[in-house]
Structure 1
Amino acid sequence: MKVVVHVDGGARGNPGPAAAAAVLSDAAGGQVIDEATEYLGHTTNNVAEYRGLLLGLARAAALGATAVEVVNDSELVAKQVNGEYKVKHPDMKALHAQALEALAGFETWAIRSVPRSKNADADALVNQALDAAREG
Structure 2
Amino acid sequence: MKAILFTDGGSRGNPGPAGCGWVLLNPEGEVLTEGCHFLGLATNNVAEYTALIKGLAAAQALGVTELVVKADSELMIRQLKGIYKVKNEGLKPLFARVKELARNFRQVTYQHIPREQNQRADALANQAMDRQASFEA
TM-score, normalised on structure 2?
Answer: 0.95
Aligned to 2:22: 22
Identity of aligned residues (%): 47
| Deviation of 1:112 (Å) | 1.1
Pairs within 5 Å for 1:74-89: 74-89=73-88
Aligned to 1:132: 131
Segments of structure 1 that go 5 or more residues without pairing to the other structure are: none
CA RMSD of aligned residues (A): 0.9
TM-score, normalised on structure 1?
Answer: 0.95
Aligned partners of 1:133 and 1:47: how far apart in 2?
16
The residue type paired with residue 33 of structure 1 is L
Aligned partners of 2:13 and 2:64: how far apart in 1?
34
Aligned partners of 2:88 and 2:123: how far apart in 1?
28
The residue type paired with residue 43 of structure 1 is A
| Deviation of 1:133 (Å) | 1.4
Aligned partners of 2:131 and 2:92: how far apart in 1?
30
Pairs within 5 Å for 1:25-44: 25-27=25-27, 29-44=28-43
Aligned to 2:99: 100
Residue by residue over 1:47-69, the C-alpha shift from the partner in whole angstroms, topping out at 9 and shown as x without a partner, is 00000010100000011100110
2:111 maps to 1:116: no
Q: Which of 1 and 2 has higher RCO (CA within 8 Å, sep 6+)?
A: 2
Aligned partners of 2:26 and 2:69: how far apart in 1?
12
Instruction: Give the number of aligned pairs.
Output: 133
Aligned partners of 2:111 and 2:90: how far apart in 1?
22
| Deviation of 1:33 (Å) | 1.1
The residue type paired with residue 61 of structure 2 is A
The residue type paired with residue 88 of structure 1 is K
Segments of structure 2 that go 5 or more residues without pairing to the other structure are: none
